[in-house]
A and B are shown apart, each in its own frame.
Chain A
């Protein structure tokens, strides 16, 4: 009986000890969750040109990524961005992208990323990705973790080309780059 008690208290102690150790964890937020919420905010500060979608339709936010990326975006499904309802579409294949107003691309092979962004270049699709490499390939918004905080970078050249408008309130917070996608 004593040993059972001992075991029990040992386990309890271990759990409490580990939870105590992990206060550092609880103060910070998991990156993927922040990425999804930031994407929602970016949608809120963006206006699409008139023909991009009709007034009644929801704002289609297409997500291309693994299960962890997809799950993080579930939290912002049906949330409002201005007067639009966000509708999350999890893409299995990079097809029929015309239905997307916002395309979140997680870790796409470099060789695939470039031609895809080239094709979307003049279409009113806001492209959001995870690093500087993404902007260099012609992406519009990059979210990168630098020194434990998220940094927002916006490629103005790419945004203008697709006739999207990002509010100056957001631009003020962003690291602005003006990168025409290199042809060579």
Chain B
């Protein structure tokens, strides 16, 4: 038990401490085991009279998937005091979650991080949050009522066979609770230094015997951070969001879910844009007005426990109004899936999907071009996957592929083969080979943006040089072939271990083709154009370990470690892609010293990493941070909590955005929170 304690103490004292420790350890353990023996001899009457407690043990419920899956439960989200989805994601191993400033995040798995990272797919209740604008996710647009989240599944490695293009390095599934599980009211309110104020209200009720529903509204205001230079960063923001979910059991076999959300957010940032005349850049505070919403309906029909189909339709839109670029996007998606069992040893799932996207850009600047300004895109895809039971309850082979047709790169095939072996119910071994692609974004397809203007160097070179980034219709999909092996074990009592190693081989990665400088008399500067091309290659490899140790019924440790190596080859290799941190360590201690008190401590160590952008590349120093949350439940339905975030430094830098904003240090924060259930 007190392993971390022993390490801290000099040798002479080791024996004594170890003795004390083992006495305590065996006392606890013997209570546990003798308990069970005693219980077996109890009568049913006595068993029904025993005082029973529920322990928040970490379950590995997705133990049986041949993939690197990590589940963040509602309890985890609640107990670390996460106020946003990215903060909750920090609990997952191998996930690089970097906060750029108050309102922007860079999140990726297994490398290639950035605010405009494009190799991670994010779904909220089956709705794809991907935007074609840059083939990624606007994290500031994605929010949910965190109290209503059932779990977040984080899948490392390609998930393209099921989820399609852009699930290159991982998939995040945010799953909210069934409305039958959120009946009654919940009121949450709080505030503090960085989280200046937040509140949420949800109410769930029964509309008829077979229909339950809930609705929520939430809002927050978050404070600005500090620039590298020490000035206020001007990155404060606020947001209001509301939504609903209705679940209806139409017949014994048919269920229907309808849900939707709408939000509006005012995002402030201090922006720096290039210009053709001295001092070649200018700086001002701008406000981004962003709003959006979605509506989703899903019908599920169940034939039997091994056969079912579902049809899902969703509509999603957002609009972002910035000073120079306005961007709006409407997506309609129809998805059909059918699962059935064949010959009792094939579990087959197949499906088809159609997606229609309409977008519209408005450019209010002479330095940015988007062509065409509006596009209507279609996507057709189908997939089939078969889980073949080779040996009952012990060996499975999964084969499948996605077939996709999109308006940018036409036809794409994304197959996978996965093998899982359960030599014993406490051990799982798996291996997988998969191919995935990342299709081009609007940015890469047809844009021209002024990235920077470098001042004149000397009298020999008296002119300034403007650097442009240019998209092209020639840009093709990036590809990866990924090899993974994994091992999961719960062989040691109260300890679970999850290990995954991977090797990813990337081709056709984005690179730049630089033009010769040419003088433009209109602007009075030399111009260099960097056109996107697919000439880079990369290999990444590494491993991830996630362990949970239930030291005592009331004391749990979660420790994660990940290592990532990135080798990039191509012209100007250092500027092709950001290098994610080589190492991530997280250690969480969850203590319930008394039944109505919870204490959680989270340490995170993030190795140094490199951000790239229009500024070139910048190395971000490694950092260690600590969050603490203390919660008290004075009565059953009320909880009071205090949370301290980023406690180890006044402020620290986690990442830098590719363009426009300057490095922003994230500040230490405290907040208090009250939640009342009724």
Is B146 an interface residue, CB under 8 A from the partner?
no
The one of B42, B50, B252 in contact with A183, judged by C-beta atoms closer than 8 angstroms, is B252
CB distance from A10 to the nearest CB of B (A): 10
Is A94 an interface residue, CB under 8 A from the partner?
yes
Q: Are A67 and B2 in contact (CB under 8 A)?
A: no
Q: Are A37 and B36 in contact (CB under 8 A)?
A: yes
The one of A40, A90, A149 in contact with B50, judged by C-beta atoms closer than 8 angstroms, is A149
Is A11 an interface residue, CB under 8 A from the partner?
yes
Interface window among B123-131, B298-306, B351-359, B456-464:
B298-306
Q: Are A33 and B16 in contact (CB under 8 A)?
A: no
What residues on B are CB-neighbors of A19 within 8 Å?
A: 24, 27-28
The one of B35, B45, B304 in contact with A29, judged by C-beta atoms closer than 8 angstroms, is B35
A25 to B554, CA, bound (A): 8
Given contacts A111-B255, A182-B252, contact A173 B44 (CB under 8 A): yes
A68 to B495, CA, bound (A): 10
Is B178 an interface residue, CB under 8 A from the partner?
yes
What residues on B are CB-neighbors of A165 within 8 Å?
A: none
What residues on B are CB-neighbors of A67 within 8 Å?
A: 59-60, 63, 426, 490, 496
What residues on B are CB-neighbors of A114 within 8 Å?
A: 252, 302
Chain B residue nearest in CB terms to A184:
B251
Q: Are B305 and A68 in contact (CB under 8 A)?
A: no
The one of A27, A68, A93 in contact with B51, judged by C-beta atoms closer than 8 angstroms, is A27
Is A116 an interface residue, CB under 8 A from the partner?
yes
Is B48 an interface residue, CB under 8 A from the partner?
yes
Is A168 an interface residue, CB under 8 A from the partner?
no
A151 to B50, CA, bound (A): 11
Q: Are B36 and A75 in contact (CB under 8 A)?
A: yes
What residues on A are CB-neighbors of B49 within 8 Å?
A: 149
Query: Which residues 23-37 of A sit at the B interface, judged by CB distance below 8 A?
Result: 24-34, 37
Q: Are A115 and B305 in contact (CB under 8 A)?
A: yes
Q: Are A145 and B52 in contact (CB under 8 A)?
A: yes
| 0 or 1 for each of A97-113: is its CB under 8 Å from B? (1 = yes) | 00000000001001110
Interface window among B4-12, B108-116, B444-452, B528-536:
B4-12
Is B39 an interface residue, CB under 8 A from the partner?
yes
Task: For the complex, count residues of A whose C-beta is within 8 A of B.
Answer: 65
The one of B8, B24, B36, B55 in contact with A31, judged by C-beta atoms closer than 8 angstroms, is B55
What residues on A are CB-neighbors of B61 within 8 Å?
A: 65-66, 107
Q: Is the interface of A mostly helix, strand, loop or mixed?
A: helix
CB distance from A78 to the nearest CB of B (A): 12
Chain A residue nearest in CB terms to B300:
A111
| 0 or 1 for each of B290-332: is its CB under 8 Å from A? (1 = yes) | 0000000000101111101000000000000000000000000
Q: Are A115 and B253 in contact (CB under 8 A)?
A: yes
A112 to B116, CA, bound (A): 38
Q: Are A119 and B304 in contact (CB under 8 A)?
A: yes
Chain B residue nearest in CB terms to A169:
B44
CB distance from B510 to the nearest CB of A (A): 40
What residues on B are CB-neighbors of A8 within 8 Å?
A: 9, 13, 16-17
Q: Are B40 and A29 in contact (CB under 8 A)?
A: no
Is A177 an interface residue, CB under 8 A from the partner?
no
What residues on A are CB-neighbors of B5 within 8 Å?
A: 11
CB distance from B57 to the nearest CB of A (A): 5
What residues on A are CB-neighbors of B42 within 8 Å?
A: 37
A4 to B32, CA, bound (A): 32
What residues on A are CB-neighbors of B51 within 8 Å?
A: 27-29, 148-149
Is A7 an interface residue, CB under 8 A from the partner?
yes
A152 to B43, CA, bound (A): 13
CB distance from B204 to the nearest CB of A (A): 15
A79 to B31, CA, bound (A): 21
| 0 or 1 for each of A135-172: is its CB under 8 Å from B? (1 = yes) | 00000000001001111100000000000000000100
Given contacts A26-B31, A170-B44, contact A18 B593 (CB under 8 A): yes
Q: Are B47 and A34 in contact (CB under 8 A)?
A: yes
Is A71 an interface residue, CB under 8 A from the partner?
yes
Q: Are A33 and B20 in contact (CB under 8 A)?
A: no
Is B637 an interface residue, CB under 8 A from the partner?
no
| 0 or 1 for each of B619-658: is its CB under 8 Å from A? (1 = yes) | 0000000000000000000000000000000000000000
A33 to B493, CA, bound (A): 14
A29 to B49, CA, bound (A): 11
What residues on A are CB-neighbors of B21 within 8 Å?
A: 15
What residues on A are CB-neighbors of B2 within 8 Å?
A: 11, 15
Is B365 an interface residue, CB under 8 A from the partner?
no
CB distance from B3 to the nearest CB of A (A): 12
User: Mind listing 23 A-B residue pairs with CB under 8 Å?
Assistant: A15-B2, A15-B24, A19-B24, A27-B51, A29-B35, A29-B50, A30-B52, A30-B55, A31-B52, A37-B39, A40-B40, A67-B59, A67-B60, A67-B490, A90-B425, A94-B305, A111-B255, A111-B302, A148-B53, A149-B48, A149-B52, A181-B252, A182-B252
Instruction: List 10 additional A-B contacts (Cβ < 8 Å) besides A11-B9, A15-B24, A33-B39.
Output: A7-B8, A15-B2, A22-B554, A22-B593, A32-B57, A34-B52, A37-B42, A75-B37, A92-B422, A184-B251
Interface residues of chain A, those whose CB is within 8 Å of chain B, are: 4, 7-8, 11-12, 15, 18-19, 21-22, 24-34, 37-38, 40-41, 45, 65-71, 75-76, 79, 89-96, 107, 110-112, 114-116, 118-119, 145, 148-152, 170, 173, 181-184
